[in-house]
Amino acid sequence: MSDKYGVDDKTRFLVLFLDAQMTNAAIANLINRPLRTIEGWSAATRKGRDIRAPRKGKTKTIKEDLEDKVIQMVKDNPEKITTIKLATHFGISRSSIMKILAKKGFKYLGYDRSVIYDEEERAIRVDFCNHMLSNDGKLIYQSFFSDEMGIQLNNPRRRAWQVPSKKIRRKSASDNIKLQCWGAISARGATSLEIYKSGMNGEYFRKTIEQHKPEMEALYPDGEFYFIQDNLSAHRMNEEWLIKQQKLKLIKWPRRSPDLNIIENLWIALKKRVREDAPKNEKELKICLLRNWGILTTPEKLQSCFEALHSKYMECVSIDGQKLPGSVC
C-alpha cells in the first residue's frame, strides 16, 4: 500500500518507530530492509537527526591525531579489535575506519603461522646444513629425501553461490576421495609413488620401504646413498630397523624443518598439476598422481632442483638457522 502512494522507506520507518513503537527487527522485516540499516536509522533518530534530510557539505576531514589513535588502538590489541569496535569507540563510520587503516598500510590478513625456532633448534639446523654441504655437498647429491603428502579430490564446503529458489544439492560424500602419497627423490631420480588410503603407521612404513628400497639401490648400484626422512612417529619408531635391518645410511633430520626438504616443493607442484587436470573420481586421481609424479621426477628436472638445494643450505647457514625467506613451508 505504501509503495502505491509513494511513501519512502525512511518515512515508513519513522511512523513505525515513533508512532507504533515497533522494534528494529520487526521494522526491518516489515519494510524489507537490513537490520543494520534500521539500527542506524534508529540511532540517528534518537539523537534528533531527521534521517530524511539530505546531508549537506563535504565529508568531514578526519584529523591526523584521530588517525594515530585508531592505529595505536589496533596495535595495542590486534586480536580483539574490529572495525565495528573502532567505529563505536571513536564515533565515526566503519568506512572511515577502513580508509584510515588502508591509508596507514593495514590489511585484513590471516595470522603469521610461520615457525619460530629457538636457539637450540637454529643450531641444529645450521649443523645439519653444514653436514650436508661438507665435501662439496656430496651428501646432497647422494641422498634420498622422502616424505608423505595427503591430497583430497573434493574439498566439501557447506555453502555455495546459488539461486535461493534453485538450491544446489551437494554431491555425495563418497566423491570426496582423500589419498595419501609417499615418495623419495634424489639427484639421480626417484622411487615410484606409493599411494594409499589409511594414515602411515609403523607396519605400513616398513612395507613401503621394503617395496621401494630396490628402486633406490638401482639408482645407486654402488650402495653409496643416504636416506632422509622427517620426524613422523612412524619414522622415528623404525629408525633402528632402517639402520640394522635395511642397512640404510640414515641422516638425522632437524625437527620442524620442512623448508629444508626439497620434496616439499615437489608436493606443491604435484597438487597444482592435479588441480589443473581436475580428475573426477578415485581412479582418475590415482592415474593423474602417477603420471605427473613421473613428469616431475625425471633426472634432468631433479638435478637442477638439487643444485638449488645446495644454495638453500648455504643461505640457512648464513642466516643462523632461521626460517628461509620466501619458504612456503
Q: What is the pLDDT of residues 13-35, one digit of tens each?
A: 999 999 889 999 999 988 989 99
Question: 2-6, 110-114, 265-269, 319-323: lowest mean pLDDT where?
Answer: 2-6
Q: How confident is the model at residue 4 (pLDDT cuts 50, 70, 90)?
A: very low
What angle separates helix 282-296 from helix 263-277, to the nearest 10 degrees?
130
* pTM as predicted: 0.66
Question: Strands, DSSP E only, in 188-271?
Answer: 189-190, 194-196, 226-228, 249-251
**Separation CA 245–CA 242 (nearest Å):** 6
pLDDT given for residue 170 in this prediction: 60
Beta strands 194-196 and 189-190: pairing type?
unpaired
pLDDT digits (tens, 9 = 90+) for 235-268: 999 999 999 999 999 999 999 999 999 999 999 9
CATH T-level assignment (fold) for domain 119-153+176-318: Nucleotidyltransferase; domain 5 (3.30.420)
Q: What is the mean pLDDT of residues 145-174?
A: 71
pLDDT given for residue 329 in this prediction: 40
Mean pLDDT (the chain) is: 88
Per-residue CA distances from 99 to 71, 249, 321 (Å): 12, 59, 39
Taking Cα atoms as reference points, which of 77, 75, 73, 76 lies closest to residue 87? 73
CA 98 to chain centre: 25
Q: What is the mean pLDDT of residues 27-48?
A: 90
Counting beta carbons within 10 angstroms of the beta carbon of residue 191, is it exposed (0 to 12), middle (13 to 18) or buried (19 or more)? buried
Residue that is written with C-alpha cell 620466501 in the block: 326
**Separation CA 36–CA 25 (nearest Å):** 9
